[in-house]
Structure 1
Amino acid sequence: MIKIFNKIKISVMAAVVALMGLTACNDYLDVVPDGGDPTLPDAFALRSVAYRYLGTCYSYMPKDGTGSDPAMLGSDELVDLYPRTTGKYFSTSMTMIARGYQNKSTVYGDDWHSLFTGIRDCDNLIDNVDLVPDMNQEEKNQWKAEARFLKAYYHFCLIRKWGAIPVVKHSLPMDASVEDVRVYRDPIDTCFNFVLSELDKAIPDLAESFSNTEYGRITKAIGYAFKARVACYAASPLFNGNDDQKNLVDKRGVQLFPTKTEEQKLERWQYAVDACKAAIEECQKINVKLYEGEDILYRMNDTLKTDLILRGAMCERWNSELIWGNTQSWTAERINWQVMGCVNLQYEDNPQFTGALTGYRCFGVPLKVAEEFYSKHGVPIAVDKDRQAGWNEMEIKRGDEQNQFYLERGYETVKLNFDREPRFYAFLGFDGGKWLGQLTDAEYNDLTSDKVKKVKCRVGQYAAKAGANVGPVTGYFPKKTFPYKNRVNAANGTTNISSTWFPYPIMRLADLYLLYAEAINELEGPNGAHSTDLFYYINAVRERAKIPDVKTAWDDYSTNPGYYNTQTGMRAIIHQERMNELAFESQRFWDIRRWKEGPTEYNKNIYGFNIAGASAEDYYKKTLVFEQPFLVRDYFWPISTYNLEHNPNLIQNTGW
């Protein structure tokens, strides 16, 4: 039997889990019958106890942005300092996926059992919450809707890893036979249709909003937005008529990835278009809008304010753009220090923090990701007319007056770091670059460039590689993930972090806008009935990033004017826009897979600068960090040998 379907004694011990990450709740339930062990009905004897069980349902949410998230160090977007001699500050297991060491005996990122357990607990709440005596029916329906949503979400999390999975319409009874628990995987369309159906059932009873003490619970806007994401995944090439998987047939003769006609594929995209539009309309109702720094009240120039706005869209707590924030991920504030904040830097003008500010700098951004950000004209650097004949991205150039808020004046860096879009400077830290932060509130007013911190990480300088556990790794750091309000101080030889936690963004409005643009383009191309919406929503994201709209950028500044007029060209534009806007937000990993662009992207391998170099000439050499293999089998996780042995009706994924 699969472990998750084993006959086990259900008790309210599961309700001990922290209450949705919103309040630290580690106490055991104190409602225990006189007769002995607690039973499932005891969990629904009072509202206060049932509320804990609702918290249990939330507790299975994957902790995005942490060491268990494969979309961080398992991707080609962040690189771990390898081999590290300690995993104390961040698990090294996900980097095994990035380096091609995934296997079916020890499956990295294997939450198969956990997610199916979460599904069972959601079913338990749906089945039993009506028993609670001190709740009205409206609230009971709302809780059931939240549990139904989470059940759909956990199915989706399984699908994006393993593809076709066994759908659990309702958890099996505890006295189920051995044969009953030996379930089969369902065809991929059945899987997605079930998730979408569960979301449709949940949305009407979800709350419009919650008080700030319960942020993180599922609302209607989250329901609509997540449905839009699921619909786009279901329509994407990895899942929608994927002929690479056509031979995945189970023992019943059921094809798990059926072949489809083009018309059938487009039906999925039509559904996605409708779902995205409905989600945007729902967000408009509750005034969710692109974050524009309305809470930034400092007196500062546009360049500096744009930096704070672009970073704040991710890590300004509960900002106007956030649709769904994962409160499971901020535990002990590690999200921006030990996890992503491992990039915490040593600044030249803070020499007293030589040990403290180097922190546990163990993550880097590959050179290819730095190259993907646009030029200042909003087009890829390879097609910018100003960067053509005679332009060498690796040529040494000194920072100048014009770029003083981005680059240290007089410091040698490379042309690659000049004349880039604002997101490049807001999201990346690098040798010779400026890093806005580590200031008091008063110091942000009327800030001059010489007061903005600078990074120097060549050998012999403050942020150079200093051992097996201290970077840099590639020469670029994910600055975006580090809130500017964070401060690091040294006291008694130790590091004190005044950390600004934030809920990790599962979905924000820019993501939804770009999904809508993508769905429209895949359905009808850039010149169809919805073309106005397509360009409006992608341009809204670009406008916030302070780059020209798509047509202006390509027509006026590129070597390929009109590139956006074809579906293929517009697809490339939308894909790159998602890569740039959603960098380091656990999206690239899944997007590359659902688009079936794995071999193209991963076979570029991981490069950085020569971090062992002391001079600019030695440091700025393109250097291979590691080769990153990717085969067809890598699109999906292997099902563990353990599960296959205990349930012979499961079949292994292609290539494993």
Structure 2
Amino acid sequence: MQNKIHILYLVLCLAMAGSVTSCKKFLDVTPENVGTLDYAFRNRNEAENYLFSCYSTLQSLADITRDPSFTTSGEIIYPNVLGEGPKLYDAGFQLMRGTQNISNPVLNYWDGSNGAPSVFKAIRRCNILLENIDKPIDLSVFEKDRWIAEVKFLKAYYHYFLVKMYGPIPIYRTNHAITDPIGTLRVKRLPVDSAFDYAVQLLDEAIPELPTEIADVNRELGRVTQAVALAVKAEILVTRASPLFNGNPDYRNYKNADGQALFSASADPAKWAAAAAACKAAIDACRQLNLGLYHFIRPANIPATLPQVLSGILTLQNAVTEKWDLNKEIIWNLNSYFPQQANAVPRITAEFDLGSAPGTLAVPISTTDLFYTKNGVPIDEDNSWDFSGRFNLRTGDAANKYLIAQNYQTIKNNFDRELRYYAGIGFDGGIWYGNGVTNPDAALSVQAQKGPAAPKDNSRLNVTSIWPKKLVHYLSVFDKNGFSQTSFRLPRIRLADLYLQYAEALNEVNGPSSEVYAYIDSVRLRAGLKGVQESWQQYSFNPGKPSTKDGLRTIIHRERRIELCFEGKAGWDLKRWKEWTSVMSQPMQGWSIYQSAPSDFYIPVTQFIPTITSKDYFFPLSDQALRENENLIQSPFWK
């Protein structure tokens, strides 16, 4: 066993960076292996390649089909083909059906298998660079300090990512020598606060040496800045302060074999104060860079007379899909382009073809229910909205022609909703502005009632007939010639996210205040809504809800789920709030997709009821990992 571990470790230590052919896309490249550490750090250029290899695992996280938060949030479901087990592509989505296991865990970021790289290997790679950074004789002091800071950031983020997935984890401050006794290699999990504290320590060390912004985007696009590190620090501290990690009674008996407690016994309110301070520091840094909430930038081919409602929708869509250099709301992006646009496109032309745009990313009805009415309150709280009759049929009219196709029969549920509903959801009869048609009066619309374009046993099928419109650039075109996409990078952190985190932390510290309302309302105003207090006072059955700490907490949580829907945030949020099992108790429903008559189509059909329990809050370790290291204990409630 000792020889096996030493050999595996040696192989890891010899992982080096190869040449990079494109400067602009250097972070998209996984460097090839070369022979020795001396070669990898023989000069500045080779060492820089190794730096890029430290980024490579981070860049791989851009594929949302491998993102544990995106695939288990309940925002999106994926077809389950009869007679087949989960395939690599959809395995993460199938976790909601109870497919996770300990013999071969899905999305195994611990060991690195089953559709995921090992994040621990990424940490070790970072340690190798830090141990060898003094070897290149032609590396300037300025660059060395910056590279050290970048790698410390990466180490911090990798540890944080693992804590979110697994809870208590081992901490790798340095790599073990291959000659170390076998006992020192058998590390154990440490209390969750240890990992959070270590990540924050690394970020505090890194931030002063990071650049305030990227000067040469052609060569350094995607590298870390001070604002990125400050925003990540804020997110880490918000996560640490949240109920899942901060005095969670569910894990009071979760301990190492030596009796060491891995979760704090009681909640510490000071953690929320630290989170609020970190959020404010990140916001201030962003303001110094003139970052702000995005508003639609009209290209020359879009009419200057674009109706205000469509301009508002494009503002909300492009807050996610706008080009990186034009979007002043983006704090952090990864380099890789969003790879799933074709799977988010509905039938919007007569030439629907599965090979060009399969459209398999299906939105359940429960996700559409999250979005507010046009009055800015939940659909079941609005005192002027017909909640009980929302599935009754209604025909599109002239007053709503830029939202719903005229003379098209859909349901009342699609009328009188907030703009984020129309920007985010591709629903039957909904206007799909763009797709090569820039005349607002000739805009295309979703044609879900025409029946599925695939047999029942075909995996390329949207099982709800509802699509995540937010994940398709409005200039992407799907027609008889195929699917031609305008690429975009899905934001990792944007300013609206940070604003809502700050509001959440402030509310947890002192309850409702004018500052809390201001940050929530700034996000709502961009979506065309009135402020929280005004909306609830005028339109809600519960007008006092925003005036209490508990009520405002509920509102903030929903605001995050609406504003950041489909962006890979909800899964982590629901877990840290300890709301995930409650949300996952709802059946995942869609429409009767094989029916074409409206009265038959609009009958909810249950695809499945998620099989999620308390043990699913943290991913399990594999049997193999436990066998190879007797000091590791299994994740809570897994056996």
Band the TM-score falls in, shorter-chain normalisation = over 0.9
Quick one: which amino acid aligns to residue 10 of structure 2?
Answer: I
User: Relative to structure 2, which stretch is displaced further, 591-600 or 297-306?
Assistant: 297-306
CA distance in 2, matches of 1:17, 1:421: 49
Q: Which amino acid aligns with 1:22?
A: K
Alpha-carbon distance in 2 for matches of 1:165, 1:88: 28
**Is 2:56 aligned against 1:59?**
yes
Q: What amino acid is aligned across from residue 181 of structure 2 in structure 1?
A: S
**Partner SS for 1:173:** coil
Which stretch has the larger CA shift, 93-102 or 414-423?
Answer: 93-102
Which SS does the other structure have where 2:17 is aligned? helix
Report the equivalent of 2:114.
Answer: none
Question: Are 2:137 and 1:157 equivalent residues in the alignment?
Answer: no
Q: CA offsets per residue over residues 459-485 of structure 1, 9 Å max, x none?
A: 448x68776133231121000000112
Q: How does 1:363-382 map to 2 (within 5 A)?
A: 363-382=361-380
Shift of 1:17: 8.6
What are the Cα deviations for residues 195-231 of structure 1, in whole angstroms up to 9, with x where unaligned?
Answer: 1111111111011122222221100000000000000
Counterpart of 2:213, as a letter, is: S
Q: Look up the match of 1:289.
A: 292
Find 1:470's aligned residue among 436, 460, 463: 460
1:41 aligns with 38
Match in the other structure for 1:95: 93
1:499 alignment counterpart: 485
Using a 3 Å threshold, how does the CA distance of structure 1 residues 384 and 91 change in structure 2: closer, same or farther? same
1:72-471 to 2 correspondence within 5 Å? 72-83=70-81, 91-113=89-111, 114-210=118-214, 211-213=216-218, 214-260=220-266, 262=267, 265-294=268-297, 296=299, 298=302, 299=304, 300-318=306-324, 319-327=327-335, 329-330=336-337, 335-336=338-339, 339-347=340-348, 350-351=349-350, 353-355=351-353, 359-388=357-386, 391-439=388-436, 444=438, 447-449=439-441, 451-460=442-451, 468-471=458-461
Give yes or no for contact 2:626–2:633 (8 Å, CA) kept in 1. Answer: yes
Rate the CA distance shift 1:90–1:311 in 2: closer, same or farther, 3 A. Answer: farther
The letter of the residue matching 2:330 is: L
**Rounded Cα–Cα distance in structure 2 between residues aligned with 1:20 and 1:93:** 33
Q: Distance in 2 between matches of 1:630 and 1:555?
A: 36
> Structure 1 residues 571, 465: CA separation in 2 closer, same or farther (over 3 Å shift)?
farther
Q: Distance in 1 between matches of 2:5 and 2:17?
A: 18
Once the two structures are superposed, residues 84-142 of structure 1 have per-residue CA deviations (whole angstroms, 9 ceiling, x without a partner) of 79999970211221111111111011111311111011111122222222221111000
1:7 aligns with 9
Tell me which amino acid in the other structure corresponds to 1:486: S
**Other-structure match for 2:498:** 512
Rounded to whole Å, the distance in 2 between the matches of 1:601 and 1:88 is: 23
TM-score normalised by structure 2 residue count: 0.92
Q: Which residue of 2 aligns with 1:654?
A: 636
Whether the aligned pair in 1 keeps the contact of 2:16 and 2:37 (CA below 8 Å) is no
Q: Relative to structure 2, which stretch is displaced further, 510-519 or 306-315?
A: 306-315
CA RMSD of aligned residues (A): 2.3
Letter of the aligned partner of 2:158 in structure 1? Y
Deviation at 1:168, TM superposition (A): 1.0
Per the alignment, residue 567 of structure 1 pairs with: 549
For residue 331 of structure 2, give the secondary structure of its aligned residue in structure 1.
strand
Distance in 1 (alpha carbons) for counterparts of 2:552 and 2:390: 26
CA drift at 1:391: 4.5
Matched residues, percent identical? 35
Which shifted more, 616-625 or 296-305?
A: 296-305
What CA deviation, in whole Å up to 9, does each residue of 1:615-653 have, x standing for no partner? 111111121110112211011001111100000100111
What is the rounded CA distance, in whole Å, between the counterparts of 2:84 and 2:341 in structure 1? 16
1:482 alignment counterpart: 472
Hey, what's the Cα distance between the residues in 1 that align with 2:159 and 2:256? 20
Q: Is the 8 A contact 1:21 1:59 kept in 2?
A: no
Contact 2:426–2:468 (Cα < 8 Å) also in 1? yes
Give the counterpart letter for 1:51 in structure 2.
E
In structure 1, what residue type is equivalent to 2:297? E
Letter in 1 for 2:182: V
Using the alignment, how far apart are the partners of 2:205 and 2:375 within structure 1? 45
- Matched residue SS, 1:506: strand
1-structure distance, mates of 2:82, 2:224: 38
- Separation in 1 of the partners of 2:76 and 2:224? 29
- Give the aligned partner of residue 644 of structure 1: 626
* Residue in 2 that maps onto 1:34: none
Residue range with higher mean Cα deviation, 583-592 or 56-65: 56-65
**Aligned AA for 1:396?**
L
Q: Closer, same or farther in 2 for the Cα pair 1:58/1:647, shift >3 Å?
A: same
Q: Deviations over 1:71-93 (max 9, x none)?
A: 22333110102217999997021
Name the CA distance, whole Å, in 2 between partners of 1:321 and 1:172.
41
Equivalent of residue 592 in structure 1, options 566, 574, 590? 574
1:224-256: CA deviation from partner (whole Å, max 9, x where unpaired)? 000000000000000011110111111111010
**Secondary structure, aligned partner of 2:57:** coil
Distance 2:147 2:597 in 1: 61
Partner of 2:115: none
**Alignment-mate amino acid for residue 334 of structure 2:** N
User: Is the CA contact 1:12–1:42 (under 8 Å) kept in the aligned structure 2?
Assistant: no
Q: Specify every segment of 5 or more residues in structure 2 that has no aligned partner in the other structure, as ranges.
A: 112-117
SS of 2:106's equivalent in the other structure is coil
User: What per-residue deviation string (whole Å, max 9, x for no partner) do you get for residues 602-622 of structure 1?
Assistant: 001211111122211111112
Q: Distance in 1 between matches of 2:191 and 2:332?
A: 29
Partner Cα distance (1:514, 1:28) in 2 = 41
Question: 1:307: how far off?
Answer: 1.5
**Residue 7 (structure 1) shift:** 2.9
Question: Map of 1:592-611 to 2, 5 A cutoff?
Answer: 592-611=574-593
Report the residue type matching 1:42 in the other structure. Answer: Y
Moved more, 66-75 or 376-385: 66-75
- Structure 1 distance, partners of 2:25, 2:514, is 41
How far residue 357 of structure 1 moved from its aligned partner, in angstroms, is 7.8
Q: CA deviation at 1:162?
A: 0.3
Residue 67 (structure 2) aligns with: 69
Asked if the contact 2:16–2:40 (Cα under 8 Å) also holds between the matched residues in 1, the reply is no
- Secondary structure of the equivalent of 2:394? strand
CA change 1:358–1:132 in 2 (3 A) is closer
Instruction: State the shift of 1:355 in Å.
Output: 2.4
Instruction: Quote how far apart the aligned CAs of 1:533 are.
Output: 2.0
SS of 1:151 mapped into structure 2: helix
**CA 112–533 in structure 1, closer or farther in 2 if over 3 Å, else same:** same
**Contact 2:64/2:568, CA 8 A, preserved across alignment:** no
